Chain A
């Protein structure tokens, strides 16, 4: 039932650091986060890791396991061979504070740059009427637990630090899509998605979708539809003409 596993864990403060070797007991049914906790309790009491819920609901325990962004609490040890060495590193796109804990303030900063939900004037609380089919798309995006692994894996900023000011990352482009599709939102978000948040940087290679622990179809359901909405606004003269003639808006 239980066996000794070989682990390499990145340890260090503020970027400087290295992979340290550990041999540690693993029991049936455990996840990687359990093993990190066992290391804390037995071999390295000051090993830093973020976690809260241990059930894949809070998005705190994002880390990279054998090079792939994963939630530590949802990665079962049974998915590895017993003789495999498991490498655990912090998210690569964000600066390291210590060990597996990174400074994710980039994400909070970007979140603040997305204009908030803007309902039309004069609708009072309690008067909202929305059909289930109209809210479903945005609801999918609201499943997001803000683990920031999509922003971490996205090569636009993972491999190009210099793109960080211009690009908000899939998490917040998806937030824009969520608001743009909200039946009661009246703000125009298409122009700013492209200009201020860097939607054009996304080359739809879908790594965000691949890592999302909530299985949100970020690329197919948020980013590409948003790109199409931007095309409506910026690159499609027919739609522009139609809107002019029939005085309608896409909202």
Chain B
């Protein structure tokens, strides 16, 4: 201490303000909206895994891509016609791969912030007291596992590439349908989200102390930093776009959407 106090300080305590917060604005609105938004995504995700109409030439629903088995559920949608795990697997394809994008988002620095705030209320909003008696943050299991985010990032890059590939496949297909553009838009948003990742920022050049000695990596870092500054917006946009695109494909597959250029 630099001695703010005379040598024997009187017993000191905080100002006794007995309310949870003195904020007068609608601080609960953001966590509430976030809660609803994230919940809707979860609910949709579960449904999408169970739902089997995930493919209609030339579209594959993003939640079911890549299709890795030969089982009938995604026949015709296999990546390069490749089915590494053979045909014994008969469960929904989403179940196989959704762990990766799911884990990516679950450990994403932005999503962490948003669900710690809206689900765990820790804190619900700034200078609003949290309801928990004890707090250890991300110092121990299970939350310490959040530190593996960068591995999910590597996988997410692959998934991003596959979704782009899916979109390109759909785009070269004749006749061109609205779905192709939807898949393309989704792929762009997913890539924007993925490349703006904090781990990506770290890997490109964030870990260096001399940008000037690595001009290319520094350039990459600058670009990633630009995306990263809007990571929250990318996160929401890509979350809704992936949901929207997925739903669209399924609705087309089910024949519910059936106009000529669908």
Question: A-side binding surface: helix, strand, loop or mixed?
Answer: mixed
Which of A32-40, A54-62, A117-125, A206-214 makes up part of the contact surface?
A206-214
- The CA-CA distance from A105 to B135 in the complex, in Å, is 23
- Is B233 an interface residue, CB under 8 A from the partner? no
The reply to whether B139 and A201 form a contact with Cβ atoms under 8 Å apart is yes
The reply to whether B212 and A133 form a contact with Cβ atoms under 8 Å apart is yes
Total count of chain B residues near the partner, CB < 8 A: 58
- The CA-CA distance from A134 to B148 in the complex, in Å, is 28
Looking at the assembled complex, report how far the CB atom of A186 sits from the nearest CB atom of chain B, in whole angstroms.
10
The reply to whether B13 and A201 form a contact with Cβ atoms under 8 Å apart is no
The reply to whether B5 and A103 form a contact with Cβ atoms under 8 Å apart is yes
- The CA-CA distance from A182 to B129 in the complex, in Å, is 36
The reply to whether A103 and B4 form a contact with Cβ atoms under 8 Å apart is yes
- Is B10 an interface residue, CB under 8 A from the partner? yes
Instruction: Say which residue of A90, A198, A200, A211 sits within 8 Å of B126 (CB atoms).
Output: A211
Looking at the assembled complex, report how far the CB atom of B249 sits from the nearest CB atom of chain A, in whole angstroms.
34
The reply to whether B14 and A94 form a contact with Cβ atoms under 8 Å apart is yes
Number of A-B contacts (CB under 8 A): 173
Residue-by-residue, is B187-225 near A (CB-CB < 8 Å gives 1, otherwise 0)? 000000000001101100011111110000010000000
- Is B116 an interface residue, CB under 8 A from the partner? yes
Looking at the assembled complex, report how far the CB atom of B110 sits from the nearest CB atom of chain A, in whole angstroms.
8
The reply to whether B209 and A251 form a contact with Cβ atoms under 8 Å apart is yes
Question: B-side binding surface: helix, strand, loop or mixed?
Answer: loop
- Is B40 an interface residue, CB under 8 A from the partner? no
Residues in chain B near residue A76, CB distance under 8 A = none
In the complex with contacts A15-B13, A156-B135, A228-B150, A203-B116 CB distance below 8 A = yes
- The CA-CA distance from A160 to B3 in the complex, in Å, is 24
In the complex with contacts A131-B211, A159-B135, A203-B116, A17-B15 CB distance below 8 A = yes
The reply to whether B202 and A92 form a contact with Cβ atoms under 8 Å apart is no
Instruction: Say which residue of B17, B140, B206 sits within 8 Å of A92 (CB atoms).
Output: B17
The reply to whether A159 and B22 form a contact with Cβ atoms under 8 Å apart is no
The reply to whether B4 and A160 form a contact with Cβ atoms under 8 Å apart is no
The reply to whether B15 and A69 form a contact with Cβ atoms under 8 Å apart is no
Residues in chain B near residue A183, CB distance under 8 A = 209-210
Residues in chain B near residue A109, CB distance under 8 A = 1
A10 to chain B: closest residue by CB: B15
Residue-by-residue, is A17-49 near B (CB-CB < 8 Å gives 1, otherwise 0)? 100000000000000000000000000000000
List CB contacts (< 8 Å) of B136-155 with chain A: 136-140, 143-144, 147-150
- The CA-CA distance from A236 to B202 in the complex, in Å, is 13
In the complex with contacts A203-B116, A204-B113, A225-B201, A198-B139 CB distance below 8 A = yes
B136 to chain A: closest residue by CB: A201
Which of A89, A131, A153, A224: most chain B Cβ within 10 A?
A: A224
B144 to chain A: closest residue by CB: A200
List CB contacts (< 8 Å) of B76-95 with chain A: none
The reply to whether A225 and B202 form a contact with Cβ atoms under 8 Å apart is yes
Residues in chain B near residue A90, CB distance under 8 A = 15
Residues in chain A near residue B202, CB distance under 8 A = 225, 228-229, 232
The reply to whether B122 and A229 form a contact with Cβ atoms under 8 Å apart is no
Instruction: Say which residue of A155, A206, A220, A230 sits within 8 Å of B228 (CB atoms).
Output: A220
- Is A6 an interface residue, CB under 8 A from the partner? no
- Is A75 an interface residue, CB under 8 A from the partner? no
- The CA-CA distance from A202 to B228 in the complex, in Å, is 19
- Is A165 an interface residue, CB under 8 A from the partner? no
In the complex with contacts A224-B198, A251-B209, A96-B116 CB distance below 8 A = no
- The CA-CA distance from A84 to B199 in the complex, in Å, is 45
The reply to whether B209 and A133 form a contact with Cβ atoms under 8 Å apart is no
Residue-by-residue, is A93-113 near B (CB-CB < 8 Å gives 1, otherwise 0)? 111110000111100110010
Residues in chain B near residue A127, CB distance under 8 A = none
- The CA-CA distance from A158 to B128 in the complex, in Å, is 10
A–B Cβ pairs within 8 angstroms, 12 of them: A10-B15, A66-B23, A67-B23, A67-B24, A89-B15, A96-B15, A112-B1, A112-B2, A134-B212, A155-B130, A225-B206, A231-B149
B residues at A contact (CB < 8 Å): 1-5, 9-17, 21-25, 109, 112-113, 116-117, 122-123, 126-127, 129-130, 132, 134-140, 143-144, 147-150, 198-199, 201-202, 206-212, 218, 228-229
Which 8 A-B pairs rank lowest in CB-CB distance, beginning with the nearest?
A67-B22, A15-B13, A95-B12, A67-B23, A200-B139, A207-B126, A201-B137, A228-B202
A residues at B contact (CB < 8 Å): 10, 12, 14-17, 64, 66-69, 84, 87, 89-90, 92-97, 102-105, 108-109, 112, 131, 133-134, 153, 155-156, 158-160, 163, 180-183, 185, 198, 200-207, 210-211, 220, 224-225, 227-232, 234-236, 250-251
